[in-house]
Structure 1
Amino acid sequence: MKIYGSFTSPFVRHCRIVLLETNLSCEFVETDAQQSAQLSPTKKVPLLIDGDLTLTDSSSILKYLREKAGFSYLADIKDFELFNMINTVMDACVNIFFLEKMDNIGLNDSKYLQRQNSRVLSGLQELNSAVSVGKLPLTDGEIRLACFLDWGLYRKRIDLSELDNLQRLLELAGTDEIFKQTAPPLNL
């Protein structure tokens, strides 16, 4: 089994966390945007190949890994909703990041990006209200949220200063050894 991805992607990080949690044997192949465009029909990471099976989305990869290891995946509807809300907010944030980075298109240049930014801001407010910080281990929805928050801070895309529950969740995640082990490299 091989998983292709980058060390900075929050989607890939969630998969890497699950691989470490489940102790499944899998080779990680570091891939950049150009390589992923050649490898994956969706032109994104992560990409998982296990024999004849190819999975091109982190959600299906996570389901496959959890179930292959004998665990359930997003069985609780509230955690499933949290996971999906995070995906919406994270997709919007990642789109803004790449349009600014690759095409030099800023928020002031695009009504679409302004809408995406509004989605990120209102989504973060709702996530802050919706999440209740518990204890380790984190659920898949909470892991997804922590991966996004850490990426958002790493890429200087979000501000958590007024979002106490999100700050606490990220602090809790930061006490988990696997979460710390999968952090993006500091030198990028």
Structure 2
Amino acid sequence: MSAMRDAIAAELDNAVRNIQALAADAAMQALLEQAVGLCTGALRDGRKLLFAGNGGSAADAQHWAGELVSRFYYDRPGLAAIALTTDSSILTAIGNDYGYDYTFARQVEALGQAGDVFIAISTSGNSPNILRAADAARARGIRVIGFTGASGGKLAPLADICFCMPSSETPRIQEGHELIGHLLCALVEAEMYPRNAG
């Protein structure tokens, strides 16, 4: 077997073990059930879900918001979700006027309302702009769902619910985030608009 195939097999094995750890984690499953309840409760009350992250986590924020606004498994009415990572004019204005650490907090202040849910994604759990946004959310009565790595970082104590992936490796953390994020979208969709409802 070539060195490249060895590397491929090792990476796939690491990813599989990471997913198996998640599948065996009953506490993580209970947190997911709670997170679905937070999100559907907000949506049923006419509130919205706000998503934010940096780098690859910014892509997750946009991806998951898109799954809810458009569709996940099937056609149904759109669900109120906003990625705070997408408006380059807002991001650069805040970065220029207040500093990068405020890119999401300022948007939470402007767009967030009590009863909303803020989904904060940070592989380290220590991204300053995510932490400031979580603080801003809590100050406004907005519940916080965190996505982090194994340590939870500084984000974990700021979150009502925190998904701490069973890894300290960024790729494994991100793969876990993607799986849990997809489950969250699928379950929120199914709870809000059951596929077989009359």
Q: TM-score, normalised by structure 1?
A: 0.32
Taking structure 2 as the reference length, the TM-score comes to 0.31
**Bigger Cα Rg:** 2
